[in-house]
């Protein structure tokens, strides 16, 4: 694996798992009023389209990274609705 690929994998891991602390924070504080609904909905639709794009390209990294990102962000959206 070359350096560029390793760099891309580190980047993908960081941007994907950055939403885990947000999910935990929202879960614990039971509040997400400062998190924008428009952001969450637009972001989730965009990430869903990234998954379709990944399937179309048969790119497992794109599918996996966006699948995990969508999972975290759907839970964050659900928590925001639950604790509104």
Residue with tokens 């994907």: 16
Query: Closest separation between CB of residue 22 and its own copies, Å?
Result: 4
Sign of CA dihedral 55, 57, 59, 63: negative
Query: Closest separation between CB of residue 82 and its own copies, Å?
Result: 14
Closest CA to 36 of 22, 49, 50: 22
Contact positions toward its own copies, by CB under 8 A?
3-4, 7-8, 10-19, 21-22, 24-26, 29, 31-36, 38-40, 42-43, 45-47, 49-50, 52-53, 56-57
DSSP class of residue 18 equals T
Query: Closest separation between CB of residue 73 and its own copies, Å?
Result: 10
């Amino acid at each position: 694996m070359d350096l560029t690929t390793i760099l891309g994998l580190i980047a993908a891991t960081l941007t994907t798992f950055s939403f885990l602390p947000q999910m935990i924070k929202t879960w614990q504080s039971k509040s997400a009023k400062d998190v924008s609904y428009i952001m969450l909905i637009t972001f989730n639709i965009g990430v869903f389209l990234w998954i379709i794009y990944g399937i179309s390209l048969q790119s497992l990294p794109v599918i996996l990274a966006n699948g995990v990102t969508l999972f975290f962000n759907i839970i964050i959206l659900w928590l925001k609705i639950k604790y509104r």
